[in-house]
Amino acid sequence: MKTLTITTARQNLGAWLARAAGGEEIGIVCGAQVIALRPVAIHAADYAEQEYRLTKAELAEAAKKIHEEIDAAETFEFTGDLRTTALAASPADQTLSQPRGKAGARRNRRGQRRVASVA
């Protein structure tokens, strides 16, 4: 096994990871331990369970809800003209894209509020 200090490993981490992925045994000394670099198989089926603690039933319900939201979403065909697409958006969408109040206002170098316009 090739053992490295943390500093040496950090300097060329990509190369060390590539060598570990190729089957070489690489270890990094961390205090009194040696931490091994080795590939780990990832299975898409259990990723949601491990990362988000979702059961298969919860995952299926979440996927169903996401697909329903996608199907219900209002979409616009982009023709290359931003003005046309922006004007086609619903008033609620246009309101969301506008800065609100003093906190959202942009200011110029003299501290004066700038008003964005679509012209």
User: Residues 45, 59: one domain?
Assistant: yes
Residue 75: per-residue pLDDT:
75
How many domains does one find in the chain? 2
Those residues with Cβ within 8 angstroms of residue 83's Cβ, 6 or more apart along the chain or in another chain: 118
pLDDT digits (tens, 9 = 90+) for 12-53: 999 999 999 999 999 999 999 999 999 988 766 677 777 888
Does residue 99 register a pLDDT over 90? no
User: Residues 46, 84: one domain?
Assistant: yes
Q: Domain of 31?
A: 2-37
Nearest-10 crossing angle of helices 56-72, 44-52: 90
Matching residue, tokens 């996608």:
70
Give percent above pLDDT 70 in the chain.
71
What span, in angstroms and rounded, lies between the C-alpha atoms of 100 and 113? 12
